[in-house]
């Protein structure tokens, strides 16, 4: 059976000072709906143009397509001599966005292996939105990943690492529940930081079984940061190389039928809920670049 696979991301929206637009007040959810409720065209990897086509905007879901025009080499039919020709075709990746504010909100699922690498597609879209000079928020996008992958790496490394680095997006919607949340929120308010990097190194090994490391991993796992680490024998870990991926059976049907099916499976696709299965077999490659 063929499947549609989706890579999961989280959007962090940090307020942008609007000194000359004090009356321009809009919530995070409303801003996402405003930006993604219209067709968009923007640069993607040089000379190519990526298009955003909105399909549905419901109470808890924005559904759309990221489309790219690509050349397709093929042949004429036999009665026309079988000549080689190149024509342009449109390829599209379905995108589901939960713009609402809750523990698993502001998630994005981007269809895999259709137009290009999911992270490259969503980052081009976010980069375009962030170029709006009058934007009330700056959007950061990070992979959602399974912390079990990191803890497996740490266990195989004997619980000690030569180095570990965290790249955090500042908190934007969760309740303040730990020291890291409070420290990052204070840093944003006092210094205007949108991202904060934090790292530790030791030639004899940084202990991973500590409250500080556990809290940092929990914070990153929900899509608010990245983790890179190196063991004492120089093995490497990167959370960007192990993104969470969900999958559903692929159906051949008109776009409207597919859109309704995606709408009905939104919680599964977005990884909502403790019982939602997250595929672990398709997460061996780096999704941090490419088309």
**pLDDT 10s digit of each residue in the chain, 291 long?**
789 999 999 998 888 876 455 546 789 999 999 999 999 999 998 778 999 999 988 888 999 999 998 887 889 889 888 889 888 889 999 999 999 987 778 899 999 977 889 999 999 999 999 999 888 999 999 999 888 999 999 999 999 999 999 988 876 544 445 666 667 667 666 766 778 888 999 999 999 999 889 988 988 887 678 899 999 999 999 988 888 999 999 888 898 999 999 999 999 999 886 434 444 434 444 455 555
Q: Which residues neighbour 22 within 8 Å (Cβ) at sequence distance 6 or greater?
A: none
Give residue-wise pLDDT tens across range 200-215. 999 999 999 998 899 8
Cβ–Cβ < 8 Å for 224, 104: no
Cβ–Cβ < 8 Å for 16, 129: no
Distances in Å between the Cα of 176 and the Cα atoms of 145, 171, 239 are 21, 8, 24
Beta strands in 58-136 (DSSP E): 62-75, 84-98, 107-111
Q: Which residues neighbour 107 within 8 Å (Cβ) at sequence distance 6 or greater?
A: 8, 9, 10, 11, 97, 98, 144, 223, 270, 271, 272
Q: Which residues neighbour 38 within 8 Å (Cβ) at sequence distance 6 or greater?
A: 54
What pairs with residue 237 in β-bridges?
229
Cβ–Cβ < 8 Å for 168, 195: yes
Q: What sign results for the dihedral spanned by CA atoms 221, 224, 229, 235? A: positive
Euclidean distance between CA atoms 11 and 64, whole angstroms: 16
In this prediction the pTM is 0.80
Give residue-wise pLDDT tens across range 41-92. 999 987 789 999 999 888 889 999 999 988 878 898 898 888 898 888 899 9
Taking each helix axis from N to C end, the angle separating 211-219 and 179-191, rounded to the nearest 10 degrees, works out to 60
Distances in Å between the Cα of 96 and the Cα atoms of 7, 58, 74, 187, 192 are 10, 11, 32, 31, 30
Cβ–Cβ < 8 Å for 111, 95: yes
Quickly count: other Cβ atoms within 10 Å of residue 74's Cβ: 9
With CA atoms as reference, report the closest residue to 145 among 253, 217, 83, 81. 217
Euclidean distance between CA atoms 187 and 230, whole angstroms: 27
Phi/psi at 35 (5° precision)? -70, -40
């Amino acid at each position: 059976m063929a499947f549609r696979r989706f890579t999961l991301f989280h959007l962090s929206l940090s307020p942008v000072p609007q000194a000359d637009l004090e009356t321009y007040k809009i919530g995070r959810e409303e801003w996402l709906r405003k930006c993604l409720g219209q067709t968009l065209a923007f640069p993607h990897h040089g000379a190519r143009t990526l298009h955003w086509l909105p399909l549905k905007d419901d109470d808890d879901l924005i559904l759309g397509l990221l489309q790219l025009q690509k050349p397709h080499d093929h042949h004429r039919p036999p009665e026309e001599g079988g000549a080689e020709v190149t024509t342009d075709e449109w390829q599209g990746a379905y995108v589901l966005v939960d713009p609402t504010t809750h523990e698993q909100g502001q998630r994005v699922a981007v269809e895999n292996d259709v137009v290009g690498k999911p992270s490259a597609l969503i980052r081009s879209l976010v980069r375009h939105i962030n170029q709006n000079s009058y934007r009330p928020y700056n959007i950061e996008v990070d992979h959602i990943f399974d912390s079990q992958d990191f803890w497996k790496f740490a266990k195989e490394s004997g619980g000690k690492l030569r180095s570990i680095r965290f790249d955090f997006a500042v908190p934007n919607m969760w309740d303040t529940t730990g020291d890291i949340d409070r420290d990052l929120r204070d840093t944003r308010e006092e210094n205007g930081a949108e991202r904060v990097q934090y790292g530790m190194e030791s030639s004899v090994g940084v202990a991973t079984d500590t409250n500080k490391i556990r809290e940092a991993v929990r914070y990153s796992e929900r899509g608010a940061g990245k983790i890179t680490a190196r063991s004492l024998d120089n093995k490497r870990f990167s959370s960007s190389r192990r993104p969470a991926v969900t999958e559903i059976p692929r159906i051949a049907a008109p776009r409207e039928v597919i859109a309704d099916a995606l709408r009905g499976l939104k919680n599964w696709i977005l990884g909502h809920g403790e019982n939602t299965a997250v595929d672990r077999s398709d997460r061996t490659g780096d999704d941090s670049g490419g088309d």
